[in-house]
Structure formats: C-alpha cells, structure tokens
Amino acid sequence: MSATETECPHTITPAGTAQVPRLPIIGLPVHMIQIPDVVAWMTNWVCLDRRPGRWIVVADMHAVVEAHQRPEFRRMLDRADLIVPDGIGLVRVAQAKGAPLRARVAGTDLMKAFFSHTQRMGLGHYFMGDTEETLRLLRTRLERDYPGLTVVGACSPPFRPLTADEDDAIVQRINDAAPDVLWVGLGLPKQERWIFAHRHRLNVPLILGVGAAFKFLAGTVKRAPDCVGNMGFEWLWRFAHEPRRLWRRIMIEAPQFVGLASLDVTGLRKFS
C-alpha cells in the first residue's frame, strides 16, 4: 500500500520550511527544530507533497567542522530542505546564542520517532549502507519493534568507489523498490555527497543520511545511554567502543569544534 492510500495525519503545511528559524553555527545554517516537528515535516512530505528528492541533513559536530573546512561541502548542505541539530555541542552553541533549543535531533532518535508515528501508514522504507549483516539485523529488529513497518529493500554497496554501471544499478534498484523514505548510512560526509549527487535521479519523496544509526538500531554497536548523551559525553562512549574508527574525530575535530564555537559564540570571529 502506498502512502497516498493511507490516512496521513499532518500538522504542518508541505509548502516549504522557510518559516523554520535557522541559526548559523560556525557558518552552517542549522534549523532550530525539534524531533516532533521534524517528524511532522517528514510525514507531510511523504504523504501530501510527494515531490521527489526532499533531503534532511542530520548535522553533528563533524558536519559543522567539515562544512567550515570545505566551502563546497557547505554549499551542498545548503541545498537540503532541513539541516537538523544532532549533537549536544550544536545545542549548547545554539542556546548560547539565545535560541530556545532544548534537545538534539539525533539520527537514531529521529528514526525511532518516525517509525512509531508512521508504522501503520503503509510507508515503504529502503536502507542503503553498512554491511549485509547489519542490514539483516536491522530489518529483523525493526519489523519486530514496529509492527506494520514495511521494508521494501536494502543495499550494502562495496566499500570502494563504484563503477558507473554499479552506481546506475543501485539507483535503478532503489527506484524499482519505490520506497517512500530512503535511509542512507554511509557515514558523513560520504552519505551527504552521495545524496547530493543522486537525489534528482531517485524517485523517492524523502532521503536522509543517518550515519551510524543503522548499527545502533541493529544492535551491532551499543549506543550510549540517554543520560550520557544528554550530558554531552556520547563522544567519549563511542570512542571507548570504536577507537580505531573515531580517533580522528575525537582527538582532532572535537577540539577544533570547541575552539571555533568559542569564537563564534563570543563574536571574536565572523563566519560567512
């Protein structure tokens, strides 16, 4: 059953997100929005608007530093329909600038909230990224935890640059599955670059890059408890569990973010 054949409650008009406040954090304009409103926008886009290629960026500290260091990447992110604040660091910077932002919009939490809200609407979900084993476990857990949720496909692309034929085949595979939502778990910035390059070839109403959320929901990597994340120490938890993969982000990018954020909040430096 397609989304258009289901009853889709909505609270926000699907015209656009211009009315959602944006605040530049180290130069990256981030929407000051919380999970319930993000879920409302997502529901409208897949149920009412249906225009292919809507894109949500789940921006954490890594995204902000990457956008600061690479202007062409920031220009890519500027084309997204929503840039939501994942990470307590972004929340603290926003609060220091006077924004009434209460909590982060973590990719895992956003997925769970959207699944709970729409699990009986007949929406089709496609998952791209990570390993075959993670995708298998992810599908099993989601279908168990969210009765009625429909997984129409999954794809674990090779961990190397794709040939043109392989790339075309993945796009065709996704379009043939006709999902309402495409979840991409390739890690930042790879997933954002892939979405930007392919969104206009995909007949999918909504696309999101959610990084490690596949692993968390599948149970292959243990997520930090909420109390740890809300105190701002999820980075330490993840570093303890995946030091080889995350050492650069923690040891180099985290101090860069803190230094740049301090300059931004105090006004000692203006970020374009």
Q: Does any domain span residue 144?
A: yes
Please give the pLDDT value at position 17.
Answer: 82
Better pLDDT: 189 or 230: 189
Task: Tell me the pLDDT tens digit for each residue of 43-92.
Answer: 999 999 999 999 999 999 999 999 999 999 999 999 999 999 998 999 99
Q: What is the mean pLDDT of residues 206-230?
A: 84
What is the CATH classification number for the domain harbouring 113? Answer: 3.40.50
Please give the pLDDT value at position 229.
Answer: 55
* Model confidence band, residue 224 (pLDDT cutoffs 50, 70, 90): low
Q: Which of 17-21, 68-72, 179-183 has the least mean pLDDT?
A: 17-21
Residue 265 has pLDDT above 50, yes or no: yes
Q: Provide the domain limits for residue 148.
A: 3-214
Q: Does any domain span residue 185?
A: yes
HEC readout, 193-229? HHHHHHHHHCCCCEEEECCCHHHHHHCCCCCCCHHHH
Residues 6+ apart with CB under 8 A from 221: 212, 215, 241, 242
Please give the pLDDT value at position 189.
Answer: 96
Cα(266)–Cα(260) distance, rounded to whole angstroms? 10
- Give me the half-sphere count of Cα atoms (radius 13 Å) on the Cβ side of residue 135: 19
Cα(103)–Cα(94) distance, rounded to whole angstroms? 10
Q: Does any domain span residue 243?
A: no
* Model confidence band, residue 5 (pLDDT cutoffs 50, 70, 90): very low
What pTM was computed for the model? 0.90
Please give the pLDDT value at position 121.
Answer: 95
- Judge contact between 97 and 59, C-beta under 8 A: no
Residue the block writes with tokens 């392919």: 198
Residue 11 has pLDDT above 80, yes or no: no
DSSP codes joined into one string, 158-171: -SSPPPHHHHHHHH
Better pLDDT: 87 or 224: 87
Q: Does any domain span residue 249?
A: no
Domains held by the chain: number: 1
**Mode of pairing for the β-strands spanning 22-25 and 28-31:** antiparallel
Task: Tell me the pLDDT tens digit for each residue of 82-103.
Answer: 999 998 999 999 999 999 999 9
Please give the pLDDT value at position 222.
Answer: 79
Task: Tell me the pLDDT tens digit for each residue of 117-164.
Answer: 999 999 999 999 999 999 999 999 999 999 999 999 999 999 899 999
DSSP codes joined into one string, the chain: --GGGS----SS-TT-STTS-EEEETTEEEE---HHHHHHHHHHIIIII--TTEEEEEE-HHHHHHHHH-HHHHHHHTTSSEEEE-SHHHHHHHHHTT----S---HHHHHHHHHHHHTTTT-EEEEEES-HHHHHHHHHHHHHHSTT-EEEEEE---SSPPPHHHHHHHHHHHHHH--SEEEEES-TTHHHHHHHHHGGG---SEEEE-TTHHHHHHTSSPPPPHHHHHTT-HHHHHHHH-HHHHHHIIIIIHHHHHHHHHHHHHTSS---
Q: Does any domain span residue 107?
A: yes
Please give the pLDDT value at position 223.
Answer: 72
